Amino acid sequence: MAFGRDPTVRATRRLIARTPQRTAVDLNGGTLIHGLVLGSTNESTTVVDLASQAIVRWRVPWPEDLETDLAAFDVVEGQLSEHIERDDLAQPEAVTLADLPRRLGTYRGRRVRRWLEQLASPADGPLFGFRGPSAPYWEFRGERPSVALVAADRGPQLLRRPDDGSTWVRFGWFGDDVWLLCEDRHAIRTIESTRRSSLAGKDLATALGFRPAYVLTTLSQPLDGHCYKSCTGLLPRG
């Protein structure tokens, strides 16, 4: 079926075109909301809210035996819980969904490229306002975002540690050499399938199927009293 005749693609484009625009995210309990996925783990799914073009983190009530199947640029629909739990000072963008979100399709193109360019984090100091991999939870005041869409100065490079099998992302950003644990399932599967310890440049782009232009970084929920930086997505330009 031709791309332009795919009814799912047409329906997704129509939904985005007809979504009423707002200046802020709708935070009323029970509201039906739509987002463009940037990265998803079982802890949270980071989306561009289609109504406001703001970044939001959805807390999804995944069952313990079910792993998220959402991927970058999926268009999803969710319903806010009656108690959206907006009191996490380390994750001020996070809201809670009442149930699992519904995947409606995928969306790419010039509009997505423009959104990502507008949402890219400015150079205003170290990532999330502190150096190092983590910070104590009690230091957060809800004044800084817990998501940063980084346009790397150097890299990114994907690395596999043979001692524990973990995958890491390394990139340069305004003079800092940043190393983050990778939680992007596609990136992890990619380096595992190549059986290599590192991927960068053209090799990384070929293996991923796209040239990574952005590193989606997020702060975790507190673990032993600390919130940790991680990479939850390697994204193309759009």
Question: Global pTM?
Answer: 0.94
DSSP helix/strand/coil, 110: helix
Buried/exposed code over 173-188 (b: 16+ C-beta within 10 A; e: otherwise): beeeebebbbbbbebb
- Residues facing residue 59 across a β-bridge: 96
Residue 10 confidence (pLDDT): 87
**Does the pLDDT of residue 216 top 80, yes or no?**
yes
pLDDT tens by residue, 120-171? 998 778 999 999 999 999 999 999 999 999 999 999 999 999 999 999 999 9
Please state, in angstroms and rounded to a whole number, the distance separating the CA atoms of residues 59 and 48.
14
Q: Provide the mean pLDDT of the chain.
A: 94
The architecture that CATH gives domain 3-107 is: Beta Barrel (2.40)
Please state, in angstroms and rounded to a whole number, the distance separating the CA atoms of residues 150 and 83.
31
pLDDT tens by residue, 11-55? 899 999 899 999 999 999 999 999 999 999 999 999 999 999 999
Residue spans in the chain of domains classed CATH 2.40.50.140: 3-107
pLDDT tens by residue, 193-212? 999 999 999 999 999 999 99
Question: With the CA atoms of 236, 152, 113 and 218 taken in that order, what torsion angle do they form, in degrees rounded to the nearest 10?
Answer: 80
Of 62, 44, 17, 63, give the one whose Cα is nearest residue 146.
Answer: 44
Residue 5 confidence (pLDDT): 60
